[in-house]
Amino acid sequence: MELASTIKITRYREGKWSHDEDLVIKEVPVTIYANGHELVTTLASPSHLEDLALGYLKAEGLLDNLDQLEAVKVDPGGNWVKVNLKGEIHQKLKDRSQRILTSGCGRGSVFYRSLYEFETGEANSSNIVFSEKVVGDLVSQFHKNSHLFRQTGGVHGAALADEKGIIFFREDIGRHNAVDKVIGRCILDGVDCRDKILIISGRISSEIVLKAARIGVPLLISPSAPTDLAVKAARLLRLTLVGFARGKRFNVYAGEMRLPIKMSQD
């Protein structure tokens, strides 16, 4: 399915009007079902929808690993994904209410979570240390992979990486969707994320921190800013949180032990 459409526009440049064409990102409603239960409808880019559905289920605590997956069916038109899971998840599904989402930069696919939920979550136990150079190199690679963003300016990106470089990259109109697509691919490929790095293009919210914690990555990077709740959550979950990563500059908001920090003496 095409991810962008060419439309006719009227352009204004330096005092002059003209008729022109522009490439605009496509947006479709995608409903995710689990064992016949309608979980959520999200507005998304119509690509990697299997990854999106499985990543969403993982991030919501409904799917632990690939062994639980029985079948996945994706609508050829891109409007739904139906997932069948093994095991006793009926009560978990019954306890959930249907939600309609937008593609905006709010809390995405879940309602507000209190700090208590982060306090009771599993803290990251990885003692891996990453170099400062890795942060800058990965952000540079990340921007080079953002092909759809350069074409349309209308998507967010997310990527999984290790110290050698980006392993896979996903784009979507929503930040949460892009991250879910990365998580879904981790599930399908059986990737061990305990020594990996998650990179996102936009603001780091507490929900993005939780998604990173669900797959066990020790380091989360963004060229943008975190929220205060994201920082508190990262500290509680022992996740290294890096924001404003641009060129050779970045801020460390949590998990300083995973970077070789040496303070200047002047």
pLDDT digits (tens, 9 = 90+) for 109-160: 444 555 666 676 688 999 999 999 999 999 999 999 999 999 999 999 999 9
Quickly count: other Cβ atoms within 10 Å of residue 265's Cβ.
4
Write 253-259 long-range contacts (CB < 8 A, 24+). 253/226, 255/124, 255/218, 255/219, 257/127, 257/129, 258/126, 258/127, 258/128, 258/129, 258/130, 258/218, 258/219, 259/129, 259/130, 259/131, 259/132, 259/135
Q: Active-site positions?
A: 105
pLDDT on residue 111: 44
pTM: 0.88
CA gap 1, 76 in Å, rounded = 9
Mean pLDDT of 219-243: 94
pLDDT on residue 95: 63
Percent of the chain with pLDDT over 90: 71
Structure tokens, 115: 């700090």
Q: Which of 44-53, 80-89, 180-189 has the lowest mean pLDDT?
A: 80-89
Structure tokens, 238: 């022992």
3-state secondary structure of 66: helix
Domains identified in the chain and CATH numbers: 28-113 (3.10.20.10), 132-258 (3.40.140.10)
Mean pLDDT of 188-211: 94
- Residue-wise over 1-32: b if at least 16 C-beta within 10 A, else e? eebbeeeeeeeeeeeeeeeeeeeebbbbebbb
Q: For the chain, what is the mean pLDDT?
A: 88
Give the gyration radius of the chain's Cα atoms: 19
